[in-house]
């Protein structure tokens, strides 16, 4: 009974310690932010690698799972919904100004290695593939996945649950898996026009 109580106490103290550590990280980040809000709970690694502009809002349950060589930049006025995960071993995630990111969006600069069929994927580590850039004024829909080495142009919209594996031009709407552009804004005509799919 004594050993069981000791084990429970150890687990409780460990949980409290982790919570305090995460809170300390959040407060360290918040101290550097200007007129911005982070909702708790919030998970972050390498807090010094996160650079946040003014008037940013980060919803609760966000997880910035960054490696030591991965940096995250969030421009002023950007809103990040709850339960988003931004992940990378290296490279950078660059989010512009006034970007709207819906809940449960996943952004990554790395991917798991899988090529060696004699080893489980979980044991093969990860591979950094390049920066992710989301330019100003865009909207990333709920549940979207933005994969490594991708740029999403200014004022572009990514539909719900889309998987972005290649660049999306400015002033475009893209949906699907993999994401394809279905609309674009024609500056000369000052209107949005439909784009025919390349799929047969």
| Active site (catalytic) residues | 112
| CB within 8 Å of 182: residues ≥ 6 apart | 173, 174, 175, 194, 195, 197
In degrees rounded to 5, what are phi and psi of residue 158? -110, 125
Contact 78, 98 (CB under 8 A): yes
Contact 91, 126 (CB under 8 A): no
What would the two tokens of residue 188 be?
């000369």
Contact 85, 102 (CB under 8 A): no
Q: Report how far residue 111's alpha carbon sits from residue 119's, in angstroms, rounded to the nearest whole number.
A: 16
Half-sphere exposure of 158 (CA within 13 A, CB side): 38
Half-sphere exposure of 92 (CA within 13 A, CB side): 12
What would the two tokens of residue 100 be?
């709207």
Strand 139-140 to 157-158 pairing: parallel
């Amino acid at each position: 009974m004594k050993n069981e109580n000791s084990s429970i106490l150890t687990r409780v103290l460990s949980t409290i310690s982790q919570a305090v550590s995460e809170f300390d990280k959040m407060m360290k980040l918040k101290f550097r932010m200007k007129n911005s809000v982070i909702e708790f709970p919030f998970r972050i690694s390498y807090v010094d690698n996160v650079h946040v502009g003014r008037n940013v809002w980060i919803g609760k349950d966000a997880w910035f799972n960054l490696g030591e060589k991965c940096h995250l930049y969030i421009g002023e006025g950007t809103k990040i919904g709850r339960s988003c995960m931004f992940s990378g071993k290296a490279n950078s995630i660059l989010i512009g100004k006034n970007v709207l990111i819906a809940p449960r969006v996943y952004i990554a600069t790395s991917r798991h290695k899988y090529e060696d069929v004699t080893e489980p994927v979980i044991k093969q580590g990860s591979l950094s593939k390049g920066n992710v850039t989301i330019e100003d004024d865009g909207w990333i829909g709920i549940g979207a996945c933005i994969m490594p080495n991708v740029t999403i142009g200014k004022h572009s919209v990514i539909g719900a649950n889309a998987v972005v594996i290649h660049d999306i031009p400015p002033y475009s709407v893209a949906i699907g898996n993999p994401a394809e552009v279905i609309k674009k804004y024609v500056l000369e005509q000052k209107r949005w026009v439909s784009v025919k799919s390349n799929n047969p």
